[in-house]
Amino acid sequence: MAGRHSNGLLSQLKTAYQRGGMTALREVHLAALRRRRAYRTIWRLVDFSVPVSSLLTLAADFDRRIGEVGLCAAAGAMIETLPLCWQTRLPQEGAEILAKEPLLVYGNHPSMLTPFLVAAALNRSDLRFIALSYVGKLIPNLEPYLFPLQASQRRTLRGRSRSGMTHALSLSLIYHLDGQLDSKVARDQNRATLSRATEHILRGGAAVIFPGGGGKETRGWFPGIGVIAASLAQAASSDTIYLTAMKVRNNSNSRVYTTLSRNPLSRIRGRLLYRRPVELSFARPIPAAGMKKLQHRSPQHLASLLQDHYETQFR
């Protein structure tokens, strides 16, 4: 009987999420906490280990702020509410380019806070993120600022394996709720998404891509950045379109979890392990036109070249 109730609740949560995203899922979750003692007990145990309630509250507050003041202002306000010290390092040459020119930003994504750190630092109303589609369901008001990618099975498994156990379990739950498209359908949709992101930059906007996925840095970037770089190089007739690398240091999802945790032992552990401030660094922007002679290389080859350049910049 308990198993049937559990399956029924999981089905309700999945249906709510697919219809109304995190807002609808949270309503079903809160109702279950009120009415189901077993669910309430399990949730308290989970929440003591991983600060899920704090994360849900933070996401809901951030979603509201985006609707009120826009992405960049909301990101800055959210980060300021956290007991987190962070600093930004801008290049001596190129600060104006980062502020106003057509721009593709690329780099690592060590924690869930990375996009918000970048948004707060750049403070551009035309800033958009190339991100997996589930992010827009988790934070609905963030969706207009996204170019959503669909996760293929290969990408999903690769992403889980590099993010740490706790984050991998969270991703598994999200992908279970979200469902997955056929691989060919996902590839076709992703090509269209990358084209829209390129067009946004060509019209003067800024876009951010995390070509290595999330979590720990590993060898081999996804080729999507190569697709965009080739298109920008082909369209760039002068030094008017730029690419810039960025890197976040001293940050991880574990650090975020300990920052938000209600577990006193976890908070003490966090204070001991994470003493250095989170650091966001931008490299000097490079003109896309400089890659024109490489535009006919494969996207994977271009991604490898950009990864080599990235590692040189932040060695």
In a domain, residue 68? The reply is no
In a domain, residue 33? The reply is no
Per-residue pLDDT reduced to its tens digit, 232-271: 998 876 668 999 999 999 999 889 888 888 888 888 888 8
Domain around 192: 84-313
Can you give the pLDDT at residue 125? 96
| pLDDT greater than 60 at residue 79 | yes
Q: Which residues contact 117 (CB under 8 A, 6 or more apart)?
A: 75, 79, 86, 248, 251, 278, 280
- CA 300/CA 225 separation, integer angstroms: 8
| pLDDT greater than 60 at residue 165 | no
In a domain, residue 276? The reply is yes
- CA 276/CA 255 separation, integer angstroms: 11
- Report the number of distinct structural domains present in the chain: 1
Can you give the pLDDT at residue 8? 75
CB 190 within 8 A of CB 183: no
In a domain, residue 154? The reply is yes
What does the pLDDT average to over 279-304? 91
In a domain, residue 257? The reply is yes
Per-residue pLDDT reduced to its tens digit, 59-70: 889 999 999 999
| pLDDT greater than 90 at residue 168 | no
Q: Which residues contact 89 (CB under 8 A, 6 or more apart)?
A: 279, 280, 281, 282
- Looking at every residue in the chain, the average pLDDT score rounds to 85
Can you give the pLDDT at residue 2? 46
Q: Are strands 242-249 and 286-287 parallel, antiparallel or unpaired?
A: antiparallel
Confidence grade of residue 30 (pLDDT, cut at 50, 70, 90): confident
In a domain, residue 60? The reply is no
| pLDDT greater than 60 at residue 144 | yes
Compute CA distances 24 → 10, 20, 31, 41, whole Å. 13, 5, 11, 22
In a domain, residue 44? The reply is no
Can you give the pLDDT at residue 150? 87
3-state secondary structure of 27: helix
CB 56 within 8 A of CB 246: no
Token pair of 191, please?
């090509």
DSSP class per residue in 112-171: TTHHHHHHHHH--TTEEEEEETHHHHHSGGGGGGEEEEPPPHHHHHHHHHTS-HHHHHHH
In a domain, residue 77? The reply is no
CB 16 within 8 A of CB 24: yes
Burial of 4 (0-12, 13-18, 19+ CB in 10 A): exposed
pTM, to two decimals: 0.86
Query: What CATH number corresponds to the domain at position 287?
Result: 3.40.1130
